[in-house]
Amino acid sequence: MKLKVIAAALMLLALTRVASAHRLDEYLQATLISVQRDRVDVSMRLIPGVAVSSSVIAMIDSNGDGALSREEQWAYAQRVLGDLSFTIDGKELRPKLVSVVFPQIQQMREGLGEIQIEYTADLPAGGPNRRLVLEDHHQQQKAVYLVNVLAPSDPAITVVAQKRNAVQSSYELDYTQAGSASGSLALRSWANAAAALGVPALFRLGMRHIAEGTDHLLFLLALLLPAPLVAVGSRWIGNIGVRASLLRILRIVTAFTIGHSITLTLAAIGIVSVPRRPIEVLIAVSVLVSAVHALRPIFPGKEAGIAAFFGLIHGLAFATTLSSLGLGRWERFAGILAFNLGIETMQIIVVAATLPSLLLLSRTLSYPVLRISGALFAAVASAGWIVERTLGLQSSVDTVVSGIAHQAVWIAVALFLMSLLCSCFKPRRRSMIPPDTVSFVRS
């Protein structure tokens, strides 16, 4: 905050060099905005000119004793905030005072005094595209306004556009924020609570992390789509039966669990450390690989090995949340166990909810529709994530995928009902497997 205040002061001096001289007949109000992921910090500099200083001083000096008490200063600052209209995505924000600094009355009378007001406002969860609107109605008859925004220090935030009215009393800031804001903020609050409450909360945090980690689940689900099938050449055909399908799915899920458990443990205790962005890109790549494999077999019979390999990468992402909790050395071991058990529990719930539908539909001629549409959805989502995470560009992938994930229960129910109908009323896929594909089934 201190560095931003210094930067704000320097920018304001550049914008308002005449403020260093004796201002005359206007009340300059210069505002600088700094946008963070979960809040917005604002710095105001108010400089009354000589001609209007008496009326401004009278507003502040409510008891007329010729001195500005601390109570009078804060009361005036609150009045300034009360004259603001501050919204994010159409939702009203409630700014909170951080600090106030007032000059001597004589400096204000000479047009040199600068009132400094710092305030902040918490931002509610929102999508990747955001609009901040600030309207300043304080002393409109005698005021002149200046508004600007500081370059975001967070690489995930990008300023898109700024719009002002003619006198700059109304200001609009359009910006984008990479990733799901709602998931990020919610997970952060859960992480803080988990660190305070111990093992049970860390278990719930693990469940929540995998539930909101749509890229992790999409990788696993796309990898499971062709699990009941057998590959011949470049095509998925036939059905390997319930028992063989269950064994293959068990191997895939177990391999993924072993992979991410290894790197989660190593990273959480500080043995392995990898920058976050490359990991996020590789996770998106893993989703694309599993989606392509669901469309056309590229590693038939080796799904468990692929799940284990990419599980190592996913585990590094899981560790980011756990390592940010500030747990002690011994607490961390219990935390790893509880957090990982939470991940596995939610993972089992998701697999169990989709498994009956996959097994039933894989025995019908309708399964290619589900497999291809699911794989294409995963491929498009992963491509968007790769572009977003590699180039720092913005997309609506997180918003769309998260919106669909929020309807997961209804989707699972609808999928199961559809699988029952297809099994009862539609021709079944032949379960006979050509002799030359036995090796694939056994694998």
Query: Residue 266, Cα to own-chain centre: how many angstroms?
Result: 25
**101 shares its domain with 241:** no
Q: Domain of residue 430: give its range.
A: 181-442
Q: Are 335 and 199 in contact (CB under 8 A)?
A: yes
Work out how many domains the chain is built from and give that number.
2
162 and 222 within one domain? no
Say yes or no: 11 and 85 in one domain.
yes
Contact between residue 134 and residue 147 where contact means Cβ atoms under 8 Å apart = yes
Extract long-range pairs of 380-384: CB within 8 Å, 24+ residues apart. 381/215, 381/218, 381/287, 382/215, 382/218, 382/284, 382/285, 382/287, 382/288, 382/291, 383/288
Q: Which of 158, 177, 196 is the last residue of a domain?
A: 177
Domain of 64, CATH number, reads: 2.70.170
Residue 315 sits in the same domain as residue 237: yes
Residue 343 has a CB neighbour count (10 Å cut-off) of 27
- Examine the domain organization and report whether 342 and 411 are in the same domain: yes
> What are the phi and psi torsion angles at 438 (to 5°)?
-60, -40
pLDDT at 88: 92
For residues 131 and 249, state if they share a domain. Answer: no
* CB 342 within 8 Å of CB 202: yes
The confidence score (pLDDT) of residue 375 equals 93
Q: Which of 92, 284, 323 is nearest to 179 (CA)?
A: 284
Residue 387 φ/ψ, nearest 5 degrees? -65, -45
239 and 295 together in one domain: yes
Domain final position from 177, 208, 229? 177
66 backbone φψ class: left, alpha, beta (φ>0; ψ -120 to 50): left
- The answer to whether residues 192 and 172 belong to one domain is no
**What's the token pair of residue 418?**
């559809």
Angle (CA) 310 315 316, round 5°:
105
Same domain assignment for residues 211 and 113: no
End position of a domain, from candidates 177, 205, 232: 177
Instruction: Give the pLDDT score at 133.
Output: 94
Q: What's the CA gap between 195 and 388, in Å, rounded?
A: 31
Alpha-carbon gap, residue 49 to 110, rounded angstroms? 8
The pLDDT tens digits for 2-57 are 444 444 444 444 444 444 444 566 888 889 999 988 889 999 998 888 888 888 88
Q: Are residues 272 and 243 in the same domain?
A: yes
Residue 2 is which amino acid? K
- In this prediction the pTM is 0.54
Same domain flag for 70 and 85: yes
Q: Do 154 and 200 belong to one domain? A: no
Dump pLDDT digits (tens) for 122-159. 888 777 788 999 999 888 788 888 999 988 877 778 88
Mean pLDDT of the chain: 80
Q: What is the pLDDT of residue 8?
A: 47
Low-confidence spans in the chain with pLDDT less than 70: 1-25, 178-199, 201, 320-332, 392-395, 425-443
Give the Cα separation of 127 and 45 in Å (integer). 31
- Tokens coding 413: 């129910």
- Report the pLDDT value the prediction gives residue 343, as an integer from 0 to 100: 85
